[in-house]
């Protein structure tokens, strides 16, 4: 398989068969994120040809925080494609995707960097290139600081959309994020208050990040939520998104707040239940990324704390799912 700047072979079946046999697995469950799911029939056929009993999960999957434990009930091992672990489990094999690129693309970011010492973070697809990127920056007289995050982001330089611990741990005043999209670098800035430069290694586009637009947008959502007569405090039922401790703490802040258990946080479910506002303790990105899909305001936990008067506006923080 090849894709864009070079996606290395996604699914080394012979290697996977070896690992499954080493574990003595006979029944195998397979889980793919949407972008890889079309490989399912082929991978399933190859594993069955190798003698395994196979079941494929057909539920949506957005991360390693969303393991197909329902399918694992019918199998000895779950093979989760596309993501690195956020928790190690003896019955789950993770097969992350690596996407290569030529690290000289970092030349595009050099004109934007102001410091000689820069924190370096990226997403899991590129995290195997951290040393090569640091070496390239070193050749250009920039000291790159790449360190592990917490238990959910244990790889050097690894950030998730819900976890910027590896950025914070650099202690740097300027951070280079290498990866696609605007969400991660915005989160890095809000989590660290550092200057952040974002480089998309596939397009070569580099830019300075300005998180204030997100904060202004969120302030507008919070203003709408201020009049709500009832709050549904959403708690996820997914394997790695259950933050019941936070949800219970939030419920206790308002006598108009109630716990709402949800698997997929959906606009239809919100409308049906009829709470005037929701607070999301599931995947932190949902509130920020998907407000446009939602029929009512959906707040992040720190935003609800501000609304309830137990957090100051100056302490506005992005919601992170940190390791317990």
Residue ranges binding a second copy (CB under 8 A):
29, 32, 34, 37-38, 40-41, 44-45, 48, 54-60, 68, 70-71, 73-74, 230, 232, 234-235, 237, 244, 258-266, 268-270, 272-275
Q: Is 39 exposed, middle or buried (CB count within 10 Å of its CB: 0-12, 13-18, 19+)? A: middle
Quick check: 295 and 289 in contact, CB under 8 A? Answer: no
204 versus 269: smaller Cβ distance to a second copy: 269
How far apart, in whole angstroms, are the C-alpha atoms of residue 40 and residue 46?
A: 10
44 versus 202: smaller Cβ distance to a second copy: 44
- CA angle, corner 218, sides to 242 and 324, nearest 5? 25
How far apart, in whole angstroms, are the C-alpha atoms of residue 111 and residue 55?
A: 50
Quick check: 156 and 166 in contact, CB under 8 A? Answer: yes
How far apart, in whole angstroms, are the C-alpha atoms of residue 170 and residue 155?
A: 13
Smallest separation (angstroms) from a second copy to the CB of 71? 4
27 versus 108: smaller Cβ distance to a second copy: 27
Smallest separation (angstroms) from a second copy to the CB of 91? 15
57 versus 186: smaller Cβ distance to a second copy: 57
Smallest separation (angstroms) from a second copy to the CB of 263? 5
138 versus 295: smaller Cβ distance to a second copy: 295
Six-digit token pair at 313?
């506006």
34 versus 223: smaller Cβ distance to a second copy: 34
71 versus 97: smaller Cβ distance to a second copy: 71
Q: Which residues make Cβ contacts (< 8 Å) with residue 190, sequence separation at least 6?
A: 211, 214, 215, 316, 317, 318
β-strands 195-199, 206-208 pairing: antiparallel
Smallest separation (angstroms) from a second copy to the CB of 125? 19
Smallest separation (angstroms) from a second copy to the CB of 65? 15
Q: Is 247 exposed, middle or buried (CB count within 10 Å of its CB: 0-12, 13-18, 19+)? A: buried
Smallest separation (angstroms) from a second copy to the CB of 245? 12
How far apart, in whole angstroms, are the C-alpha atoms of residue 246 and residue 230?
A: 18
How far apart, in whole angstroms, are the C-alpha atoms of residue 177 and residue 7?
A: 20
Smallest separation (angstroms) from a second copy to the CB of 21? 20
Angle, helices 13-22/40-49, rounded to nearest 10 degrees: 50
Six-digit token pair at 201?
């290694």
Smallest separation (angstroms) from a second copy to the CB of 270? 7
53 versus 100: smaller Cβ distance to a second copy: 53
């Amino acid at each position: 398989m090849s894709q864009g700047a070079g996606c290395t072979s996604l699914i080394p079946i012979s290697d996977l068969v070896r690992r499954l046999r080493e574990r003595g697995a006979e029944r195998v469950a397979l889980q793919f994120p949407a972008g890889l799911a079309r490989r399912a029939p082929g991978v399933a056929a190859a594993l069955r040809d190798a003698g395994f009993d196979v079941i494929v999960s057909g539920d949506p999957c957005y991360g390693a925080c969303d393991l197909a434990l329902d399918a694992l009930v019918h199998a000895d091992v779950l093979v989760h494609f596309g993501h690195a672990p956020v928790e190690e489990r003896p019955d789950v094999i993770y097969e992350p995707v690596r996407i290569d690129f030529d690290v000289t693309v970092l030349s595009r970011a050099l004109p934007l960097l102001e410091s000689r010492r820069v924190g370096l973070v990226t997403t899991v697809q590129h995290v195997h290139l951290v040393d090569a990127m640091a070496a390239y920056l070193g050749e250009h007289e920039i000291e790159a600081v790449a360190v592990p995050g917490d238990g959910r982001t244990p790889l050097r330089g690894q950030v998730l959309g819900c976890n910027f611990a590896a950025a914070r741990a650099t202690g740097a005043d300027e951070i280079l994020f290498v990866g696609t999209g605007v969400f991660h670098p915005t989160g890095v800035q809000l989590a660290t208050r550092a200057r952040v430069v974002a480089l998309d290694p596939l397009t070569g586009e580099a830019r300075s990040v300005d998180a204030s637009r997100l904060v202004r947008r969120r302030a507008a959502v919070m203003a709408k939520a201020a009049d709500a007569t009832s709050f549904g405090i959403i708690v996820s039922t997914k394997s790695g998104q259950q933050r019941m401790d936070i949800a219970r703490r939030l419920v206790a802040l308002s006598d108009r707040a109630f716990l709402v258990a949800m698997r997929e946080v959906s606009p239809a479910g919100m409308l049906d239940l009829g709470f005037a506002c929701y607070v999301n303790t599931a995947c932190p990105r949902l509130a920020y990324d998907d407000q446009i899909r939602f029929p009512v305001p959906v707040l992040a936990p720190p935003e609800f704390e501000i609304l309830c008067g137990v957090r100051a506006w100056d302490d506005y923080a992005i919601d992170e799912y940190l390791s317990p």
